[in-house]
Amino acid sequence: MEKLGIGIIGCGNISSAYLTAMASFPVLDIRGIADLNRGLAEQRAAEFNLVARGIDELLADPAIQLIVNLTVPKAHVEVGLQALAHGKHTYSEKPLGVTFAEGQKLAETASARGLRIGAAPDTFLGGAHQTARAIIDTGVLGTPVGGTATFMCPGHERWHPNPDFYYEAGGGPMLDMGPYYITDLVNLLGPVARVAGFAIAPRSERIITSEPRNGQKIPVHIPTHVCGVMAFESGAIVQIGMSFDVAGHKHVPIEVYGTEGTLIVPDPNRFGGEIELLKKGGAFEPQATTEPYADGNFRSLGVADMAHAILSGRPHRANGDLALHVLEVMEAFGRASDTGETVTITTRPERPAPLKQSLLNGELAR
């Protein structure tokens, strides 16, 4: 089968999940991995039987058509622009950029060069979320009314070995976890039209409790508790809460309300999970997952879909328009909090096409 040459830049914590999943997709021909820390790249290369290369060497290789950018958030746009300058398509870890203006620059550069950009999260392509999408599309919920989206925890310094970037520009619960929730909601309900919100930082520093830096203090430069409301173009109104300051809670990740029913959607940071449907007058009932990619961590499914799309000439699903829209929505919560005003969202991506078939054996619905 035809394959696409892939280069990976960034060999940190998330790269292991990507490289493990990429082995499932024969369309991806990994030609090398690179990192500013050459030793880290060599370590990851040895672990996955790949070749560690220099970043410049990787970018200059004509056999590589797509760069997968797994660097820290504040480097996403810089590395993406380098890839585009070398004539490569680029797929980035989330978020697309630290600011909407940065994301726009990346999107405009790609468009001017006739290249594609893609971005995580791709979990909305997972079987549970595609099944939830299919349920909503049947009309069983009636007219969409609203919903809730909730991620709240005590903070990532309790488990991540180097959590500093979570509390710098490009981090925080909204830009770190918000992409999963908002992307899935756009998949389910379409684009967002307006945003209202509040954002606070209750603490100016955090204490790391993970190893090897247990006990060290790190400064907080961004809001760590963000709450808001999204008014969707469809008319639905969804409440969202993202926090690194909550000891525990009992909210489910996502609920979607309609005039005729309610749908419980599982964790959008996972590809699977239990779906429940309540029809008006009845009780919540589990729903069988009918779509593929619900039984594992397929973190690179969006890369594989993008590779197939490049080779076949069709649109890819975890695309730049979607990622830029989500970035604009996330940034709008801070603007709404600062100004006390509702913020109008300017971008309007198309709802991604459903992923109707598995990518097993290199097969993909065109």
Contact 324, 350 (CB under 8 A): no
Q: Which residues of 227-243 are buried (b: 16+ CB within 10 A; e: fewer)?
A: bbbbbbebebbbebbbb
Contact 224, 245 (CB under 8 A): yes
Question: What pLDDT is recorded for position 359?
Answer: 64
Cα 356 from Cα 346, distance rounded (Å): 30
Q: In the numeric block, which tokens belong to residue 7?
A: 């280069």
How do the domains of the chain map onto residue ranges?
4-123+297-319+327-362, 126-287
Q: In the numeric block, which tokens belong to residue 147?
A: 């919903």
Q: What is the CATH topology of the domain spanning 126-287?
A: Dihydrodipicolinate Reductase; domain 2 (3.30.360)
Query: Which of 100, 36, 33 has the alpha carbon at shortest distance from 68?
Result: 33
Question: What pLDDT is recorded for position 363?
Answer: 58
Contact 275, 263 (CB under 8 A): yes
Question: What pLDDT is recorded for position 366?
Answer: 38
Handedness of CA 302, 312, 292, 142 (dihedral sign): positive
Question: What pLDDT is recorded for position 364?
Answer: 57
Has this prediction a pTM greater than 0.85?
yes
Ranges in the chain, pLDDT < 70: 357-366
Cα 291 from Cα 232, distance rounded (Å): 26
Interval 167-221: pLDDT, tens:
998 889 999 999 999 999 999 999 999 999 999 999 999 999 999 999 999 999 9
The architecture in CATH of the region 4-123+297-319+327-362 reads 3-Layer(aba) Sandwich (3.40)
Query: Which of 116, 130, 93, 74 has the alpha carbon at shortest distance from 16?
Result: 93
